[in-house]
Structure 1
Amino acid sequence: MQQNPGIELRVAGQADVDAAAELFRGYLDFYEVEVTDPDRPRAFLAERIAKDESLVLLADAPGVGTVGFAQVYRAFSSLSMDTAWVLNDLYVAPEGRRTGAGRALLREVLRRAREAGVTGVQLETAYDNKVAQGLYEGRASYARSSTSTSTNSGETFPGRRRVDGVRRREGE
């Protein structure tokens, strides 16, 4: 699967857990999540992949390597009484930014959602992550209110941006 010239995307399997975990740690750092157990991010991703509880996509940039990941969870929409997806995590490492990796990951998630026939894809990001908000606004139908943001591959339904469970580091 290829969405942007030069960016190669793949579904992460057990062989990709270390690469995905490195990006996941970067994602957690970006959101200032304090991780007390350094092995926890890898274990968390390994478990999601092994149990097929999430779809993890990886993006490779030529000459740089694996630079981005997206993690999608299956959910349900009460309003449509159907299956929905939550794009909970999308991250591109600094060396992979401006390569189109984030855009390619988002497009692939939306393509797969349409292919799977899900009602929509809820996109979540922090209120202050203007880069992600711009990416999401530019790539899908988008509904905004003062407290929620969502998008989907067909029908708009309520969602939310959140940083639940995030502890700010001391002094920040």
Structure 2
Amino acid sequence: MGKLFRGIFVFIALLQATSPLYGQPVKEIRATHLTYQRYLGETLSWKLKTEEFLKKGEDYFEAKNIYIENIPKGIKISAERGRYLLREDKFILTGRVKLYTEKEGEVYTEELYFFPKRDLIEAPGEVLIKKGSIEVKGEGLTYQVSLGDFKLHKRARAQFRF
């Protein structure tokens, strides 16, 4: 999963190399309506879209209205804002965060951490999980994607709709 983000940084490095200031370090890169897709062979594996993209330094970028999709694992994440820290391999997604999983349903929260190389998703605050006619509210979520291990940590309350 980290290859997706490494690819983004390679793309940005190419932008730097073709800039009129070639040889001069570029402190910042901005883009609007950025779409990045990663293929494994001929199959689409990853998709990343943002309305506004800002790269600062060598190991950090931030985005507004971000959408991340891992097609093979059936995961989609959208948020108002997102930051990626390369050294920590960590996405910090904030503001109306929605996580969609094929197996577990939809998760709504205000803050979510995504660690692509570790296949780990965490939400430290309140979460709402919806799947079919069931809604579960609670605090703290851990989702180990590759294992399918989905845990809600505190104050879980379920509501059923018939």
* TM-score (structure 1 length as normaliser): 0.28
Q: 1 or 2, which has the higher strand percentage?
A: 2
TM-score after normalising by structure 2? 0.29
Q: Greater helix share, 1 or 2?
A: 1
Which of structures 1 and 2 has the bigger CA Rg?
Answer: 2
Greater relative contact order (CA < 8 Å, ≥ 6 in sequence): 1
